[in-house]
Homo-oligomer: A and B are copies of this chain.
Amino acid sequence: MKNPKPQTEQEFLETYDPNIFPHPSLSVDVAMLTVRQRSLEVLVIKRTEHPFKDRYTLPGGFVHLDETLDQAAARLLKAKTGLDNVFLEQLYTFGRLDRDPRTRVISVAYYALVNTERLEALENTDTIRLARVEVPWLGEVGGKVQIRLEKQNHDLAFDHGEILGTAVKRIRGKLDYAPIGFQLLPERFTLRQLQDVHETILARGVNKDSFRRRMLASEQLEATGALESGVDYRPAEFYTFKSPSAL
């Protein structure tokens, strides 16, 4: 066999010749979102190499032959952040011709939801950071979205701004009918915290009374009986998410 097997992704990109193998290669990118202090944040990584040197990207990498797409997304997230057992869902597959200037790469995008507590440990490793998601207009998404770091807006590298915009749009839509808000909170949380998460994601206020009624009527919350403490107002009750398997 003439061609040696590329040992790294970098090697692969150097030896790749579209004339020999005229098919696109396949990567996975993950928009890992969290809510912290009423702001929606995303995990980004600073590139150290050309192209887009010193620009920020979403964590990602190539799909291996011996893993499914879900497994690839989980593997990459674990490799870049150390986090395991994260809520992860396929988002959309991006295939623009020029989305990677080196070669034709199609990317299966995922989004992940993690509560902030789990991210405290790894935050600000210089290259890996949490950036605020800057949704341009009052709710108009679908297009490109910027991130905010050090009081400045930045465009993400490649088409990752578009991926991020799609992720925000998706979770906004899902919030209505799927219990995804819980993924962004600790195990025990108050209704006010849950409402804050919804308001942050939707970037608008929601009606308090109606929100409480809907959540309690959904039968997905379980009252713990325990109360907040240390707050200088009436303490709220803690709830937990009742998993669907318990129904």
Residues of A with Cβ closer than 8 Å to B? 1-3, 5-6, 12, 17-26, 62-70, 72, 90, 92-93, 95-97, 104, 106, 108
Knowing A5-B22, A22-B6 are in contact, say whether A108-B93 is a contact too (CB < 8 A): yes
B95 and A92 within 8 A (CB): no
Contact of A22 among B1, B64, B68 (CB under 8 A): B64
B22 and A63 within 8 A (CB): no
B24 and A65 within 8 A (CB): yes
Which B residues touch A22, using CB under 8 A?
Answer: 5-6, 64-65
Which B residues touch A23, using CB under 8 A?
Answer: 12, 25-26, 62-65
A108 and B90 within 8 A (CB): no
- Closest chain B CB from A154 CB (angstroms): 26
- Closest chain B CB from A141 CB (angstroms): 16
A19 and B5 within 8 A (CB): yes
Which B residues touch A93, using CB under 8 A?
Answer: 69, 90, 93, 108
B2 and A3 within 8 A (CB): yes
Q: Within the assembled complex, what's the spacing in Å between the Cα atoms of A153 and B94?
A: 35
A-B pairs with beta carbons under 8 Å apart, 30 shown: A1-B17, A1-B19, A1-B20, A2-B2, A3-B3, A5-B19, A5-B20, A5-B22, A6-B22, A12-B23, A18-B65, A22-B64, A22-B65, A23-B26, A23-B62, A23-B63, A23-B65, A26-B26, A26-B106, A63-B95, A65-B104, A68-B96, A69-B93, A69-B106, A72-B95, A90-B92, A90-B93, A93-B93, A93-B108, A106-B108
